[in-house]
Amino acid sequence: MKKVSKVKLYDTTLRDGTQAEEISFSSTDKLMIAEKLDDLGIHYIEGGWPGSNPKDMEFFELCKRLNLKHAKIAAFGSTRRAGIKAQADPNIRMLLRANVPVVTIFGKSWDLHVKDALRCGLEENLEMIYDSVDYLKSRVSEVIYDAEHFFDGYKRNPEYALKTIKAAQEAGADCIVLCDTNGGCLPFEVWEIVNQVREQISVPLGIHTHNDSETAVANTVVAVFCGAEHVQGTINGFGERCGNANLCSIIPNLQLKMGIECISPEQLRELTKVSRFVYEVANLKPWPHQPYVGKSAFAHKGGVHVSAVMRNPETYEHIRPEQVGNRQRVLVSDLSGKSSVVYKAQEFGLDLDSKDPVVQHVVEELKKLEHQGYQFEGAEGSFEILVKKAMKQFKPYFALKGFRVIVDKRSREDEPISEAMVRVSVPPEREGHQFMAAEGNGPVNALDRALRKALEEFYPSLATVHLSDYKVRILDETAGTAAKVRVIIESTDGKRRWGTVGVHENVIEASWQALVDSIEYKLMKDEEDNGV
């Protein structure tokens, strides 16, 4: 078995990743992602399939302006068609027109595909592979051959599958990539097949896996353990059907667990940022439970866990989150003990001792509120206010004297009109009140706008605040429209984000609770920033 000390990373987010059902990147998007991948230390960036669509060809034109420090841009395509020479094949010509240093082509390894998809003879397929690699190798500096469906082909006809990659090797391919295109292989199968192929092939081997059996990362790691030196995958595992092998898991697995050099430690600390950047460009919400880079990857909820990680993080963390640019988080819930409350208080800059009666009071209050339906895991703004109230360190910034919300729809065709009116006193003890009305694109939006308009005269910084997310969860489905609901609001002022929560049978009241906490949290943080 060949022991690997370093691997080359080949990212196909810009091509294979865009084949995912919900993903589409513009040429500008692809350029931005390519720069991030280069900063991360990726060795190859597959830009797309020239000739398949104008967007990919535009990318290859525009990418020449990039000042890449690490990565080589690769163009992707197929072997020539049956019945013509490589130099006459339009697909091959477009690959060369891309004018990039690396070309990756795929060919058929499974005799089923040769007969049923290509509908040509087995020998002719071998000629197509050899001719295509040979012709391209004479014109570009590096040719990578992707053996499509190799593992399925090898399991059914190992002799022919080997002939296909030997044809690529004899033609001068710089690397032969074994592909689990249908994503159906299990790690023990990859182990057996890669070890057998390694004895037959002398050029570097690569691995390309899909995640249809939830084993893409495991299969990739096993292949590297067996000697693969070239690893293909996508950021966040984007890809067709169930996705491709996830580089955000593969890179730290290889580097931190196996001691195999992929990128520098400094670049590894950028992994979480790159993952979230690609989600942002794809206009997708990051998966919080994604290993290594997810928001919840190093989050602790149970009191026993929290108590242990406060003493030694290794007790419940397999790596230090900072190694991949993530961070440890402690969640507060009805499962929390004193350790969780003390930890969170320290995050807020509050000096609390576990023996302080305030801590026990907060724990009991948490359990009571969560029993009522409150949830503070996504509402740390509300939790900080709760702690400061218990410590007698919170002052209200206004008092509600009343509000009214009207939704008016005058006919089936007309859009509904939402209007809210609020009466507040600033400061809370003031006689009289401030009255303000506002319209919105819904009752909660109208209420939010009216409240902030009423307060902005006294607190101008509220003009910078807006709601970035609004979630409503029914807590008792059996109660129908009378069910209690939980509202979680995420707000931002452009510098920070915070979540707040409200619970009530009336969705407007639940929203009001979350809105008030959101605004008071902002004003509280403004005072802290100003040293008040």
Look at residue 252 and tell me whether its pLDDT is greater than 60.
Answer: yes
CB 506 within 8 A of CB 442: no
More confident residue, 353 or 50: 50
Look at residue 82 and tell me whether its pLDDT is greater than 90.
Answer: yes
More confident residue, 191 or 56: 191
Return the pLDDT at 274.
Answer: 97
Burial of 285 (0-12, 13-18, 19+ CB in 10 A): exposed
More confident residue, 190 or 3: 190
The predicted-structure confidence for 256-279, as pLDDT tens digits, reads as follows 999 999 999 999 999 999 999 999
The stretch 209-219 carries a mean pLDDT of 98
The predicted-structure confidence for 160-183, as pLDDT tens digits, reads as follows 999 999 999 999 999 999 999 999
> Per residue in 389-424, is it b (16+ CB within 10 Å) or e — as a string?
ebbeeeeebbeeeebebeeeeeeeeeeeebbbbbbb
Domains and CATH numbers, the chain: 8-263 (3.20.20.70), 399-529 (3.30.160.270)
Instruction: Indicate the average pLDDT of the chain.
Output: 90
Return the pLDDT at 338.
Answer: 67
CB 245 within 8 A of CB 233: yes
More confident residue, 529 or 502: 502
Which of the given ranges, 60-64, 180-184, 284-288, has the highest pLDDT on average? 180-184
Could you say which DSSP state residue 76 is in? Answer: E
Look at residue 228 and tell me whether its pLDDT is greater than 90.
Answer: yes
The stretch 414-440 carries a mean pLDDT of 85
Burial of 68 (0-12, 13-18, 19+ CB in 10 A): middle
Return the pLDDT at 201.
Answer: 97
Q: Which residues contact 444 (CB under 8 A, 6 or more apart)?
A: 470, 507, 508, 511, 515
Of 26-30, 111-115, 336-340, 464-468, which gets the smallest average pLDDT? 336-340
| Sign of the C-alpha dihedral computed for residues 463, 465, 469 and 475 taken in this order | negative
Return the pLDDT at 518.
Answer: 94
Q: Which two tokens stand for residue 427?
A: 């400061």
Return the pLDDT at 332.
Answer: 65
Q: Is the peptide bond before 50 cis (omega within 30 degrees of 0)?
A: no
The stretch 206-220 carries a mean pLDDT of 98
Rounded to 10 degrees, the C-alpha dihedral 517/523/524/528 comes to 160
Q: How confident is the model at residue 477 (pLDDT cuts 50, 70, 90)?
A: low
Return the pLDDT at 330.
Answer: 73
Q: How confident is the model at residue 501 (pLDDT cuts 50, 70, 90)?
A: very high
Q: How confident is the model at residue 101 (pLDDT cuts 50, 70, 90)?
A: very high
The predicted-structure confidence for 5-42, as pLDDT tens digits, reads as follows 999 999 999 999 999 999 999 999 999 999 999 999 99
The predicted-structure confidence for 404-414, as pLDDT tens digits, reads as follows 999 988 888 88
**Helices H, strands E: what count in the chain?**
18, 16
- CA 406 to chain CA centroid, Å, is 40
Note the pTM of the prediction, 2 decimals. 0.75
The predicted-structure confidence for 348-380, as pLDDT tens digits, reads as follows 677 777 777 887 887 788 778 877 888 776 788
Return the pLDDT at 232.
Answer: 98
Look at residue 240 and tell me whether its pLDDT is greater than 90.
Answer: yes
Q: Which long-range contacts (CB under 8 A, 24 or more apart) does 93-99 make?
A: 94/50, 94/51, 94/57, 95/50, 95/51, 95/136, 96/136, 96/139, 96/140, 97/50, 97/51, 97/57, 98/47, 98/50, 98/57, 98/60, 99/60, 99/64
Return the pLDDT at 373.
Answer: 81
77, 212, 232, 318 from 217: Cα distances, Å: 24, 11, 10, 17
Return the pLDDT at 498.
Answer: 92
- Report which secondary-structure segment, H or E, holds 27: helix 27-40
259, 261, 293, 441 from 322: Cα distances, Å: 17, 18, 10, 42
